[in-house]
Amino acid sequence: MRRADVFVLLDDVQFKKNEWQNRNRIKTANGPAWFTVPVLHDFGQEIRRVRIDNASDWQKKSQATLTQNYARAKALSEAAVFFDELFRRRWELLVDINLHTTRWLAKNLKVETETKLSSELKIPGQSTEKLVNLCRALGADTYLAGAGGRDYMDMSLFEQAHVQVQFQDYVHPVYAQLHGQFASHLSALDLVLNAGEESARIAFS
């Protein structure tokens, strides 16, 4: 997100169960654990249509999970105001809470990249074709891809559109962390809570 001129959240593609759209990992006294927003969805449904399952008091439980497991974190007191607002508000759509938390994390990591929802751009196409069309619509000559993109993207479509693809070569930083041995590849929230004002320097050094 920091490297991009424009960061596009793909909210008009298919929701995938048990992936990253409604969950991430945090650190607990028992090690890494999934932190999940419960959802109601139909097979093939677009992410922007997925509703949050408010049948249970998941917000109260989620806030308690974070505050208990990060009670000794350096920046918990600063984040507590955000948590109060986040978990007091009644969310209906998954995309809304995702966008809200993404922007908060970006702010805390000093990332000021312009953010757009793909649904607002109304770009046609499926899979790689859609990505190429997004680049064209935004006047992009380079697409920044996650390392996993190598497994599913049709590189010939980017070549035909004269769009360069740069794959992420991510080296995970190590920082002071609660609960014993360091665990990598958690939510960025773990870094923000543990490192506070130092988060951006650690993430991008």
Global model pTM greater than 0.75: yes
Residues 27 and 50 both lie in one domain? yes
pLDDT in tens, 125-153: 999 999 999 999 999 999 999 888 888 89
Average pLDDT of the segment spanning 41-51: 94
The confidence score (pLDDT) of residue 59 equals 96
Give domain status of residue 92, yes or no.
Answer: yes
Residues 100 and 75 both lie in one domain? yes
pLDDT in tens, 75-131: 999 999 999 999 999 999 999 999 999 999 999 999 999 999 999 999 999 999 999
Q: Are 26 and 35 in contact (CB under 8 A)?
A: yes
Average pLDDT of the segment spanning 179-189: 96
Tally of domains in the chain: 2
Give domain status of residue 195, yes or no.
Answer: yes
- In this model, does residue 10 exceed pLDDT 90? yes
Average pLDDT of the segment spanning 14-33: 95
What number of other Cβ atoms are within 10 A of residue 36's Cβ?
12
- Residue 91 amino acid letter: W
Residues 15 and 61 both lie in one domain? yes
DSSP at 46: B
Residues 49 and 76 both lie in one domain? yes
Residues 86 and 28 both lie in one domain? yes
Residues 161 and 199 both lie in one domain? no
pLDDT in tens, 188-205: 999 999 999 999 999 998
Q: Are 102 and 188 in contact (CB under 8 A)?
A: no
Residues 175 and 163 both lie in one domain? no
Helices (H) and strands (E) in the chain, counts: 8, 8
d(CA 184, CA 25): 10
3-state secondary structure of 35: strand
Token digits for 183?
Answer: 């665990």
| Mean pLDDT value across the chain | 96
Give domain status of residue 19, yes or no.
Answer: yes
Residues 24 and 91 both lie in one domain? yes
Give domain status of residue 118, yes or no.
Answer: no
Give domain status of residue 39, yes or no.
Answer: yes
Domain containing 104 equals: 6-113+171-204
Residues 40 and 88 both lie in one domain? yes
